[in-house]
């Protein structure tokens, strides 16, 4: 069976206020063309269809269009909701849409109910595990406590139990939206650490032939049976140099897996330029970046006059301007941004409390209140 694995479309997202709707439309055209040209048997979309819980009308229109086009090709497609999606909204009319071969898996209660497809070698069970926010799904999965690893492990136990009751030789595929240990992150994934440790071990997915993962935006192979497709478009400058692709997966009769990457069209290359303003404006080696989306980090000791305007005269698509002086006047103390880099939301909040209340740390009760506040916000965004 030939499967096309993609994820993290983030329909409706912008790139530093630059609209990506036309680029997202071009990607969906490419996806449909790939399905047709490669004779794909099923499309797997591993979450974050939309960029936010309340998507724009233009984003909804794009999704609606691609659903109709896949249905017209009579190629089954399985979608799961990600942490950016509203599971309830994405899953509206899922029962009706199932009849057209479009399977929206957004309800955690359905983790063990697969979409079963057949090829000449027999059945393939496709299990859709939507993004599982621990605080929202623990009870339904029979857990009293636990974070991401616990809830995903419980969902996979249900998958394995269902699979054990199916005919011998049934092959299995799982779609999941999670941060699996060993995966490489970028700046454009939304943090999912509140509510427990973010990462889950790869061993959670033991017992299935292929796990189609979503959430991380770089295409990567954790094991031959465990892969991230990555996002089809770049959504941060940390993705400069990434090759944006989908996985074309061949699932053989014995459950063995072969996969190759299918390149996605991207609107412009990304360029991260660094140096003093006059150097960036005068260096002839930078001429190829005239058509790139540019992030410029200026290292001038003092801020030059009108830096963005001057940069855009040479690089018209400069989108982000950063300052990192190579000479630090004064005491050489690191900037506020540098001090916060790598900290979680909870750590930043606790640091703020310590700053405004000198001499008094954050006690366990206060830390718990802050954690509950962040978790409450995350739950509201997930609904």
pLDDT at 204: 95
Does pLDDT of 335 surpass 70?
Answer: no
Weakest-pLDDT range from 19-23, 175-179, 197-201, 306-310: 197-201
- Mean pLDDT value of segment 5-11: 97
Contact 261, 11 (CB under 8 A): no
Model confidence band, residue 193 (pLDDT cutoffs 50, 70, 90): low
Residue ranges per structural domain of the chain: 2-263, 270-323, 343-382
- Mean pLDDT value of segment 232-251: 96
pLDDT at 195: 40
Tens digit of each residue's pLDDT (9 = 90 or more) over 84-102: 999 999 999 898 899 899 9
Dist. CA 307–CA 305, nearest whole Å: 6
pLDDT, mean over the chain: 91
Tens digit of each residue's pLDDT (9 = 90 or more) over 63-87: 999 999 999 999 999 999 999 999 9
- What DSSP state is assigned to residue 291? G
Take residue 100 and report the two structure tokens written for it.
């057209």
pLDDT at 381: 54
- Mean pLDDT value of segment 97-118: 95
- Mean pLDDT value of segment 127-140: 93
Start-to-end C-alpha separation, the chain: 34
* Alpha carbon 29 to its chain's center: 20
With b for 16 or more beta-carbon neighbours within 10 A and e for fewer, the 216-239 pattern comes to: bbbbbebeebbbbbbbbbbbbbbb
Q: Which of 158, 128, 160, 198 lies closest to 345, judged by CA?
A: 198
Dist. CA 224–CA 218, nearest whole Å: 16
CATH class of 2-263: alpha beta
* Alpha carbon 182 to its chain's center: 15
pLDDT at 191: 66
pLDDT at 194: 42
- How would you classify the pairing of strands 122-129 and 115-119? antiparallel
Does pLDDT of 322 surpass 60?
Answer: yes
Model confidence band, residue 272 (pLDDT cutoffs 50, 70, 90): very high
Weakest-pLDDT range from 9-18, 167-176, 214-223, 335-344: 335-344
Does pLDDT of 325 surpass 80?
Answer: yes
pLDDT at 67: 96
Phi and psi, residue 108, nearest 5° = -55, -25
- Mean pLDDT value of segment 187-208: 76
């Amino acid at each position: 069976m030939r499967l096309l694995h993609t994820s993290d479309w983030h329909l409706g997202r912008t790139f530093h206020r630059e609209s990506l709707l036309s680029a997202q439309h071009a990607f969906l055209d490419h996806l449909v063309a790939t399905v047709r040209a490669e004779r794909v048997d099923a499309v797997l979309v591993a979450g974050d269809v939309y960029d936010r819980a309340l998507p724009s009308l233009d984003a909804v229109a794009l999704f609606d269009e691609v659903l109709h086009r896949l249905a017209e090709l009579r190629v089954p497609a399985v979608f799961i909701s990600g942490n950016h999606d509203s599971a309830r909204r994405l899953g509206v009319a899922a029962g009706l849409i199932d009849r057209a071969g479009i399977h929206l898996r957004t309800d955690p209660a359905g983790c063990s109910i697969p979409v079963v497809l057949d090829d000449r070698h027999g059945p393939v069970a496709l299990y859709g595990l939507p993004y599982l926010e621990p605080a929202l799904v623990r009870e339904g999965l029979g857990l009293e406590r636990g974070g991401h690893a616990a809830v995903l492990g419980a969902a996979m136990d249900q998958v394995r139990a269902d699979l054990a009751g199916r005919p011998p030789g049934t092959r299995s595929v799982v779609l999941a939206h999670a941060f699996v240990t060993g995966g490489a992150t970028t700046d454009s994934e939304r943090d999912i650490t509140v509510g427990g440790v973010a990462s889950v071990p790869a061993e959670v997915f033991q017992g299935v032939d292929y796990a189609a993962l979503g959430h991380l935006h770089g295409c990567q192979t954790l094991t031959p049976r465990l892969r991230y497709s990555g996002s089809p478009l770049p959504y941060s400058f940390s993705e400069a140099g990434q090759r944006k692709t989908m996985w074309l997966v061949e699932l053989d009769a014995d459950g063995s897996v072969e996969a190759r990457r299918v390149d996605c069209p991207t609107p412009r290359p990304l360029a991260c330029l660094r140096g003093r303003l006059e150097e960036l404006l005068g260096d002839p080696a930078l001429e190829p970046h005239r058509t790139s989306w540019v992030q410029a980090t200026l290292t001038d000791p003092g801020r030059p006059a009108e830096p963005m305007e001057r940069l855009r005269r040479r690089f018209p698509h400069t989108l982000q301007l950063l300052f990192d002086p190579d000479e630090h006047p004064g005491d050489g103390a690191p900037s506020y941004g540098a001090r916060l880099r790598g900290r979680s939301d909870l750590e930043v909040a606790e640091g703020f409390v310590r700053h405004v209340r000198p001499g008094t740390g954050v006690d366990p009760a206060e830390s718990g209140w802050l954690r509950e506040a962040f978790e409450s916000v995350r739950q509201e965004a997930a609904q």
